[in-house]
Amino acid sequence: MKKITILIQLILCFSSIYAENKVPSIVKEVTVYPSGAKITSVAEVKLSAGNNDIVFEKMPLDLNILSLQIRLKGSAKLVAANFRTFTSPNSKNNESKSRILNDSLVLIQDNLTKIDIENTLLAQEEQLLLENQRKVGSYPNNGNNLSINDLKELSTYCKTRMTEIKNRSMELILLQRKTQALQYELGRKLNSLNINDAQTTGEIVLQINSPIAQSSEIACVYLVSNASWTPIYDLRAESIEKPLSLVSKASIKNYSGLDWKNVLLHLSSALPFSNNSRPILSPKYIDFSNSYSNSNLDSPSSAASGYLHGKMTDANTGDELIGANVSFKKNGTLISSINTDVDGNYRASAPIGEYEIEFSYLGYNTQRQKVFLSTNQTANLSVSLSQNSSVLSEVVVQGYGAQKSMNMAQIPNENIRIKGSRDENTIYMVDGIRVNKDELPPARQIEKRIIESFEKMYADEENFSETFDVKEEQTVLNNTKAQVIEYKTQDIPAVYEYHSVPKLDPSVFLLAKITDYGKYNLISGNANIFYKDTYIGQSYIDTKNIGDTLLLSLGRDEDISIKRLKPIDLKSEKKFFSDSRKERLGFEIVVKNNKNIPIEIEILDQIPVSRSKEIVVNLEEKGGADYNETYGKLSWKLIIPERKNKTIRFEYSVKSPKLKVVN
C-alpha cells in the first residue's frame, strides 16, 4: 500500500511539472507604426522549482513570430518558446445555456405544430358548416322536415360558430407570429453562443526552468500587422504678430485582436514590415532600334502600357501580407518593384510585353509567374504564399543567465524565435556542433540577419525614426473606429506674408513660412488650418520636401482687396510695319489695405514667353518688378501703409509677322 501511495505521488509530481499553466496577460505598452504595432504583454507567474510550461493565452493570430522577445525577471531561465493557435471548447456555463436554448426551441416547435393542427381542424369545420348550410338551403320544405324555427336556429348556430372560428383563427395567427419571432431570437442567440465558443486565438508557449519556487514577471514583446496610425495637425494662427500654434494628433486603428486598456502608448514613424533590401541599380543599355520591326511594344519607352493588380495573402491563414514585394523582371533583369498596401493589394502599370513577376515576403517561399501585359488591358493576379520552414530550421535560445542553444529536433514546433538579453554573445549550434556565426549555412545566415535586424530595430529605433511618447495612459479598443488622440502641442515661429496672383485669383492669401522645420519632428500628414478661430480649410504638411522652408496657406484675407485692370490710356494699340506688326499691351494692379496696420505683400504676374524667333516679346515697363526673362515672371514686394492703396503697372509689346495669327 505504501509503494502505491509513493507511485501516485510521483505521478502527480511528474504531471505537475509538465502541466501547462495558462495565464492571462495584460497589454502594458504599445508602439504603433504607420503599419503595424509592437505590443508588450505582461503576466505575473508563480514558478515551481524545475521545469515550467507557461502559456500566454488569447494572443493575436497575426503575431509575427520572428519578432518575438521574452523578458524574465528573477533567476529563472528561458529554455524555449513556441507559438500555436488554439480553438477554445465550449465552457460548462455555455454548454448549460446551449442546452436550455435547444430545449426551449423544441418546445416552441411543438407549440407551432399544435397551432398548425388547430388551424387545420378549424378550416375543416368551417368547410363542413358551409357544405351543410348549402344542402339545407337547397331543400327548404322537401324531405328534410325542418320547420321555420329549426331553420332559424340552424342559421343562428352556423353564424355564431363561424364567428367563433374566424376569431380563433385570428388569435392563432397572432400567436403563431409571436412564437416564430421568439423562435428566431432564441436561434440567433444559440448561433451567436456557438460562434463565440469556437473562437480561435493564438498562444505563446514558454518553457522555463526555475532553480527555486518563485514569482516572476514575464514580458512578451512582439509585432502585429493589423494596427496603424496617421498624423493629423491643427494649425492655429491668432494674428500675424504671434507664432503658430501646432497641435499634433494621431488617428489610431486597432484591429490586433487585443484591447489596449490603460497602456503606455508610443507613436513611431518606423516601418518594420517594409522591404528593407537595398535597391540594386542595373545597367541601362542603349542600342539602335530596328526600323523594320513590326512592333516596338517590348520597348520600355513605348507609350502603350498594360496593368496588373492583385492581392497577396498567407496560404494557411488567408491573412493579407502587408509590405510584400512584387518585382517585374525581363530576362532575369529587374525592371521595377512595388510593395503591397495595408490591405495586401498592389497595382502597377508597365509597357506591354512578357514579364516574370516575382512575389516575395520575409519568411515565405517566393513565387514566380510569367505574365503578358496587353495594351490598356488589366490583368488580375493574386497569390498565396506559404511560410518558408527552411528559414526557421534552427532556433537560437538566449536568456538572461547562462547561454543555451538547441537544434529544432528538440522542439516540436518549427515556428520558434527566442530572444533574451542583448548583452550576451549568442552561441550557434549546427547538428550538435558549436560554430561561429560566420560559418553558418546560407539559410541560417538569413535567419541570423532576420534576428539581428529586429534586435537593431528594438534597440536603436529612435536613431532612424521619429518616436513620440504619449504622456498619459491611453485606451484603444479592438475592432472599433479610428480613435484620435492628442500627443503634442507646440508654438512654432513663423514669418507671415501676404501673397496674390491677381491674374488667376482676385484674392490676397496669407502665407506662413516656417524655416528649419525639421527640428519640430513633423511627419507628413493633413493639417486643419484655423485663423482667428475660423476654420480656413485643409492643407498638407510634406516633410519629404528637400527644402528647409515649409510654406502654409492660411486662406484669403478679406481685409485686403486687389484688382487687375487694363489701363485706360493704353487700349491695346496695334502698329503695322511692312510685313510685320507690333502690338502693345499693359495692365494695372491696384491693392488696397483696409487694415489698421501696414502689410507686406508679394504680387506675381507674367508676360508671354516666345518660343519662335519670328515672335519678339519685349518688356517695355516693369513698374519696379523683378523680372525673370526665362519664365516671363514679374514679382513685386510692396509695403502698403494702413488704410492706403498702391498701384503698379507693367507694359509689354509683341512683334510678329503680319500674315500669321499669334496665339
pLDDT digits (tens, 9 = 90+) for 469-506: 898 899 999 988 889 999 888 898 888 889 999 999 99
Better-predicted residue by pLDDT, 186 or 602: 602
The cell numbers describing 496, all together, are 507671415
Phi, psi for residue 620 in degrees, rounded to 5: -85, -35
Q: What pLDDT score does 410 carry? A: 34
Task: Determine the 3-state secondary structure of 363 from DSSP.
Answer: coil
Element at 656 (helix H, strand E): strand 645-657
Query: With 0-12 CB in 10 A as exposed, 13-18 as middle and 19+ as buried, what is 480?
Result: exposed
Contacts 24+ apart (CB under 8 A), 635-639: 635/602, 635/603, 635/604, 636/602, 636/603, 637/600, 637/601, 637/602, 638/591, 638/600, 638/601, 638/603, 639/598, 639/599, 639/600
pLDDT of 557 reads 85
Q: What is the chain's percent helix, strand, coil content, to nearest 5? A: 20, 45, 35
This prediction has a pTM of 0.52
Q: Provide the Cα torsion 169, 173, 178, 180; round to 10°.
A: 120
pLDDT tens string 146-160: 667 777 777 788 888
Nearest-angstrom CA–CA distance, 331 and 471: 54
pLDDT top residue among 215 and 200: 215
Cα-trace Rg, the chain: 41
pLDDT per residue over 258-289, tens digit each? Answer: 999 999 999 998 888 766 666 666 665 555 44
- The overall average pLDDT reported for the chain is 77
Higher pLDDT, 149 or 573: 149
Tell me what pLDDT residue 563 has: 93
Query: Residue 585 and residue 652: Cα distance in Å, rounded?
Result: 6
Residue 135 confidence (pLDDT): 63
Please give the Cα distance from 630 to 619 (Å, whole number): 13
| pLDDT for residue 414 | 33
Confidence of residue 455 (pLDDT cuts 50, 70, 90): low
Q: Is the pLDDT of residue 298 over 50?
A: no
Parallel/antiparallel/unpaired status of strands 305-314 and 378-380: parallel
Per-residue cell: 542: 510634406
CA distances from 52 to 47, 55, 287, 410, 496 (A): 7, 10, 69, 16, 66
Q: Per the structure block, which three cell numbers stand in for 547?
A: 527644402
CA nearest neighbour of 458 among 168, 66, 63:
66
C-alpha cell at 10: 510521483
| Phi then psi dihedrals of residue 173, to 5 deg | -65, -45
Contacts of residue 427, defined as CB under 8 A and 6 or more positions apart, other chains included, come to: 396, 403, 404, 405, 434
Between the alpha carbon of residue 469 and those of residues 32, 454, 487, the distances in Å are: 11, 21, 7
In the three-class reduction of DSSP (H, G, I as helix; E, B as strand; rest coil), residue 21 is classed as: strand
Task: Tell me which of 345 and 462 has the higher pLDDT.
Answer: 345
As a whole number, mean pLDDT of residues 288-307 equals 45
pLDDT at 650: 94
- Grid cell locating 661: 495669327
